[in-house]
Amino acid sequence: MIKVRIPTPLRPLTKGQGEVEATAANISEMIETLNSAHPGLKDRLCDDKGELRRFVNIYVNEEDIRFLNGKDTSLKDGDEVSIVPAIAGGN
Amino acid sequence: MEFTEAQLERYSRHIILNEVGGKGQKKLSQAKVLIIGAGGLGSPAALYLAAAGVGTLGLVDGDVVDLSNLQRQILHTTDRIGVPKVESGRQTLAALNPDITVKTYQENVSAENIMRLFHDYDIIVDGSDNFSTRFLINDACFFAKKTLISGSIFRFEGQLATIKPHEGFPCYRCLYPEPPPAGLVPNCQEAGVLGVLAGTIGVLQAAEAIKEILKVGDTLADKLLIYDALDMKFRKVSRPKDPNCRLCGPHPTIKNLSGDYAVSCAI
């Protein structure tokens, strides 16, 4: 089981939950699993080609998956995944 | 420049700190910090930088004070509704600390004016409110070799990073290569933000700026700080330099500010 931290902008899709649990061997699987439980989530994370959007980062523990193995980055029991989209408010 | 008796007293709680001392306080008085946006983030950042004795503060903002700003923009007051934010900010900062110089620029940053605005400053504090401006500021800081203290807020969530690719650290595009297309995310008015969140992140920006001036402590130069006010959680994640970065990588494709930085009101 892994814990996935959901950012504020995506919480409407998880009924307001800031953290959800998932069972997955890698990030691709995790996205599919999450999308089954929370339809629409995948569209917010990935573009039409299934690639991770360039203003959304996913961290396994503290590491950005773009600098690991991207969506093939493997997951193990107890990992904490954070989804962190860019935000731009300041005013 | 020697401190007067009144200044020694004003800054006494700084001067007794080993990490600051008289030398550090002098560095603060000689520092020049430009704050982009005299709003949610810019207000608390400017107040603490002024109180700390940062000698020259620049405020950039093209807007006037609106009633709906006052829930979070603590530079401004009810009787200044309709007054340019930079002028309202100057009055507040001058009343707090008459020793410092506050320069005002009543304009919005653009690719045309940004290098002129940056010219006289050492550190840039980003309190802007849209992606286009944030990417423009990042790119301009890279070309002008200025340290950028980047903060952003959305609803209950804040992000903070110190950006200095000129010292070998990653830029903002190493973290997020591209802004989202307009329309995919809510616009400024729709979004909403917890007022005090602006204070939390803006004050942390001031702390990072002061540490850059004093050259003390660890900074967020290779980390991203994420704050969730609802969960009361701070977390730091690693922020490596992207070897394929279009701006600061070895084979850049962004070589000047001629790209598309048109402002869309998207957060």
Closest residue of chain B to A58, computed from CA coordinates:
B237
Q: Does B55 touch chain A (CB under 8 A)?
A: no
- pLDDT for the residue numbered B79: 98
Q: Does B125 touch chain A (CB under 8 A)?
A: no
B182 within some domain: yes
- pLDDT for the residue numbered A8: 86
Min CA distance, A29 vs chain B (Å)?
Answer: 22
B21 within some domain: yes
Q: What class is the A2-85 domain?
A: alpha beta
Looking at residue B145, its amino acid is: K
> What are the residue boundaries of the structural domains of chain A, listed by start?
2-85
pTM recorded for the entire structure: 0.95
Indicate which CATH number applies to the domain containing B148.
3.40.50.720
- A15 vs B189 pLDDT, higher one: A15
Mean pLDDT of each 10-residue bin along chain B, 267 residues long = 93 97 98 98 98 98 97 98 98 98 97 97 96 96 98 95 98 94 62 93 98 96 96 95 97 94 62
DSSP state of B120: T
- pLDDT for the residue numbered B191: 76
Q: What is the DSSP string of B144-190?
A: HT-EEEEEEEEBTEEEEEEE-GGGT---HHHH-SSPPPTTSS-BHHH
- Closest listed residue to residue A33, CA positions, set A45, A43, A15, A21: A21
Residue A1 has pLDDT above 90, yes or no: yes
Report the distance separating Cα B261 and Cα B252, nearest Å.
Answer: 18
Report the distance separating Cα B263 and Cα B131, nearest Å.
Answer: 8
- pLDDT for the residue numbered B186: 59
- pLDDT for the residue numbered B183: 63
Q: Where in the sequence is the domain holding B63, given as residue range(s)? A: 13-238
Residues contacting residue B240 through CB under 8 Å, at least 6 positions apart = A64, A67, B170, B174, B222
Residue B196: both structure tokens together: 């005090």
B142 within some domain: yes
Report the distance separating Cα A19 and Cα A11, nearest Å.
Answer: 9
B248 within some domain: no
Compute the mean pLDDT over every residue in chain A, rounded to the nearest whole number.
Answer: 95
Report the distance separating Cα B155 and Cα B198, nearest Å.
Answer: 10
Among residues B141, B171, B174, B188, the one annotated as catalytic is B188
Cβ-based neighbour number of residue B168 at 10 Å: 10
The angle that helices B195-214 and B21-30 make with each other, rounded to 10 degrees, is 110
- pLDDT for the residue numbered B184: 62
Report the distance separating Cα B224 and Cα B229, nearest Å.
Answer: 16
B194 within some domain: yes
Arithmetic mean of pLDDT, A50-65: 95
Contact pairs from chain A to chain B, CB under 8 Å:
106
CB atoms A89 and B180 under 8 Å: no
B188 is catalytic: yes
B257 within some domain: no
Q: What is the DSSP string of A38-70?
A: STTHHHHHB-TTSPBPTTEEEEETTEEGGGTTG
Q: Return the exposure string of B74-95: e unless at least 16 CB atoms fall within 10 Å of the residue's CB, then b.
A: bbbeeebeeebbbbbbbbbbee
CB atoms A91 and B267 under 8 Å: no
